Amino acid sequence: VLKGLADDGGLFVPERIPALPVSLGELKGMTYQETAYAVMKQFLTDFTEEELKTCIARAYDRKFDTPEIAPLRKVEDLCYLELFHGPTSAFKDVALCMLPQLLTAAKAQKGMKEDILILTATSGDTGKAALEGFKDVSKTQILVFYPKDGVSDIQQLQMVTQEGGNVGVCAVVGNFDDAQTGVKKLFADEELAQQLAERGYFLSSANSINWGRVLPQIVYYISAYSDLRREGAIEKGQEINVCVPTGNFGNILAAYYAKMMGVPIKTLICASNENNVLTDFLRTGVYDRNRPFHNTLSPSMDILISSNLERLLFELSGRDDKQVTEYMEQLAEKGSYEVSVPIKTKLHQTFAAGYCDDAQTKETIRRMWEEQHYLIDPHTAVAFDVLEQYRKESGDETPTVVVSTASPFKFCDSVLGALGVTELAEGTAILDQLAELTGVPVPAPLAALKNKSVRFSQTVSKEHMVDQVLEMLK
Ligand SMILES: *Cc1c(COP(=O)(O)O)cnc(C)c1O
């Protein structure tokens, strides 16, 4: 949790994947927080009961607009696992409300005196969720860089109006890759490291490769299964499928871990947009990032290197770290690799994959609204479309949980466009426009943007990001 990445550049994984601590039947009666404790204590064996329970209580409180934290919403014969009820209306809240608590507890336990400086590059959702999670956490500063031309208006407004005494936000000229490369350079900058150490700072990241972000995501797959049982939607031990809109492979990896722990999940359906590198990989066993990059309506999935896949390969290879290292080296050197036949076999046993383009995404949003009166965001629409394709091709009608990763109000322009609106309102008025058209209320955290003033308006070039860091620590 404190280190993020191992010294050799690999990702941290649990020494072993524990089984569920209690039967699924017993989990049925638990609150989200109780389930979180039961699951996380299996992994975080060096946290005391009190430490972990305190972390959970602080993470999952009234910041979420429902006491269920991750409610299931039934629409026709499907269940949507709504993960957007947190403070920034995106699923990343579930992990990023927890990570700062874990970091603070770990730091106290180790007796670390340094302050933590979190540096993060964001393509939209991570930055805001990280800012909200770390806001006013003591002995911590957070600085978020976002691409000037790469986030939606609402996403930008969410970040530049961020409150808190320990936060900084700065735009970077260019796209997400420029911001990301810039932040990576800051982490490798020895002169900066020296200056930070002199001022008593320890550098860390809120990136999705931190184990402290993957772990909290396992919890909601387990809570979803027990919710289905409690509602009588499935029988004891009955299998379900999950369908996950995927980018960096963190969310669907958490579902895989839940399956390993004993949740009866049959098939994990990986949904991508036109950046369909994972669709090809899960079907053929060849990962090839040498392909054009598309800016799509589901920008949080516009990714060609899915970092968390490394953790899956480790498990599927029988925990063969040498083999995984070879794949990762090939990926770095030539941008592609092909996994072994045994790994391919396991991939096909457990995963299905598909993708859809922007036109299908819009059509799905429109159809879902007109036929079911359920308003979904573009990422969730990708998942639903891919699930329909999968069901048609396979005939597999197993009860399925579709993971819903963002509020449609975070992507008002795309959603209104899908519903046939051509004249879009400006600024925050677009929130009301979508609310008036559909009768669905604007989520409180987004409605509150109207009354907030802009606190951060700096834009820097990639080369000058370091000055922002030093300025912040003055
Ligand atoms: C981050 C994100 C995703 C992708 O999740 P991964 O864990 O990176 O696969 C999907 N939808 C939304 C709205 C996101 O913010």
pLDDT digits (tens, 9 = 90+) for 346-385: 999 999 999 999 999 999 999 999 999 999 999 999 999 9
pLDDT band at 15 (very low <50, low <70, confident <90, very high): very high
Q: What percent of the chain has pLDDT over 70?
A: 100
How remote is the CA of residue 279 from the centroid of ligand 1, in Å? 16
Q: What is the pLDDT of residue 134?
A: 94
How remote is the CA of residue 313 from the centroid of ligand 1, in Å? 20
Short-list 91, 389, 402, 97, CA closest to 250: 91
Strand order in the sheet with 459-460: 201-204, 115-121, 140-147, 167-172, 459-460
Quick check: 80 pLDDT over 90? yes
pLDDT band at 3 (very low <50, low <70, confident <90, very high): confident
Rounded average pLDDT over 137-150? 90
For all residues of the chain together, what is the average pLDDT? 94
Q: What is the pLDDT of residue 185?
A: 87
User: Is the CB of residue 215 less than 8 Å from the CB of residue 1?
Assistant: no
Quick check: 149 pLDDT over 80? no
Short-list 300, 415, 408, CA closest to 366: 415
Task: Output the residue whose Cα is nearest ligand 1's atom 8.
Answer: 248
Under 8 Å CB-to-CB from 111, ≥6 apart: which residues?
A: none
Index of the ligand 1 atom closest to the CA of residue 410? 13
Q: Report d(CA 159, CA 199) in Å as an integer.
A: 27
Q: Which of 183-187, 194-198, 227-231, 363-367 has the highest mean pLDDT?
A: 363-367
How remote is the CA of residue 247 from the centroid of ligand 1, in Å? 5
How remote is the CA of residue 209 from the centroid of ligand 1, in Å? 13
How remote is the CA of residue 300 from the centroid of ligand 1, in Å? 5
Quick check: 209 pLDDT over 90? no
Index of the ligand 1 atom closest to the CA of residue 248? 8
Q: What is the pLDDT of residue 265?
A: 98
How remote is the CA of residue 235 from the centroid of ligand 1, in Å? 30
Q: What is the pLDDT of residue 205?
A: 81
Index of the ligand 1 atom closest to the CA of residue 254? 7
Rounded average pLDDT over 110-129? 89
Rounded average pLDDT over 214-231? 96
Probe target for ligand 1 pocket from 309, 405, 410, 446, with the most ligand atoms within 8 Å of CB? 405
Q: SS3 for 432?
A: helix
Q: What is the pLDDT of residue 358?
A: 98
Q: What is the pLDDT of residue 184?
A: 82
Task: Output the residue whose Cα is nearest ligand 1's atom 11.
Answer: 405
**Pairwise pLDDT comparison (149 vs 114), residue with the higher score:** 114
How remote is the CA of residue 405 from the centroid of ligand 1, in Å? 7
- This prediction's pTM: 0.95
348: tokens are: 């096909």
pLDDT band at 25 (very low <50, low <70, confident <90, very high): confident
Index of the ligand 1 atom closest to the CA of residue 92? 15
Q: What is the pLDDT of residue 218?
A: 98
Short-list 143, 145, 141, CA closest to 201: 141
Quick check: 126 pLDDT over 80? yes
Index of the ligand 1 atom closest to the CA of residue 406? 13
User: 440 exposed, middle or buried (CB, 10 Å; 0-12, 13-18, 19+)?
Assistant: middle
Indicate if the alpha-carbon torsion angle 36, 42, 44, 45 is positive or negative.
positive
Pocket of ligand 1 (CB under 6 A): 90-92, 125, 208, 245-251, 300-301, 379, 405-406
Index of the ligand 1 atom closest to the CA of residue 124? 15
Q: What is the pLDDT of residue 465?
A: 94
How remote is the CA of residue 167 from the centroid of ligand 1, in Å? 23
The residues annotated with a catalytic role in the active site are 92
pLDDT band at 208 (very low <50, low <70, confident <90, very high): confident
331: tokens are: 């990926």
- 257-314 residue pLDDT tens: 999 999 999 999 999 999 999 999 999 999 999 999 898 999 889 888 888 999 999 9
- The DSSP letter of residue 422 is -
Quick check: 31 pLDDT over 90? yes
User: Is the CB of residue 343 less than 8 Å from the CB of residue 249?
Assistant: no
The amino acid at residue 41 is: K
How remote is the CA of residue 126 from the centroid of ligand 1, in Å? 9
Q: What is the pLDDT of residue 323?
A: 97
Rounded average pLDDT over 155-166? 94
pLDDT band at 77 (very low <50, low <70, confident <90, very high): confident
Q: Report d(CA 159, CA 145) in Å as an integer.
A: 10
- 397-446 residue pLDDT tens: 999 999 999 999 999 999 999 999 999 999 899 999 999 999 999 999 99
Unique residue bearing structure tokens 């806001």: 135
Q: What is the pLDDT of residue 441?
A: 97
Index of the ligand 1 atom closest to the CA of residue 250? 7
pLDDT band at 192 (very low <50, low <70, confident <90, very high): very high
